[in-house]
Copies of this chain bind each other. A is one copy, B any other.
Amino acid sequence: MKTEDFSANPQINDLRTSIDNIDASIIFLLAERFRCTRKIGAVKASERLAPVDPEREEKQITRLRQIARIAEFDGDFAETFYRTVSAEVVRQHISAAQRP
């Protein structure tokens, strides 16, 4: 096992540049996604709707798994991604509902 100096490997560096661009794009999309969910949270809080909607969540997971298939992407990881984001959304919704 060599030491951790990948700087000399141009192929790895080139791929890492693509990864950096993709990550930045995903962060901006996540920022927009949370702008949407914050608005939903405000509507739910003002109308006293429950912060979690399990039926919607199941539909979204099914849909994301379909999209993952089209993208030749691992459906299990698509679901892991969704659940990670969803847990944060619910946390924010509960926090919004508790605000006076």
Contact = CB atoms under 8 A, between A and B. Distances in A.
A12 B43 contact: yes
Given A12-B43, A27-B78, A81-B30, A18 B1 contact: no
Q: How many copies does the complex hold?
A: 2
Q: Is the interface of A mostly helix, strand, loop or mixed?
A: helix
Contacts of A49: 1-2, 4, 6, 9
A56 B22 contact: no
Interface of A: 1-2, 4, 6, 9, 11-12, 15-16, 18-20, 22-34, 36-37, 39-40, 43-44, 47-50, 53-56, 60, 63-64, 67-68, 71-74, 77-78, 80-82, 84-85, 88
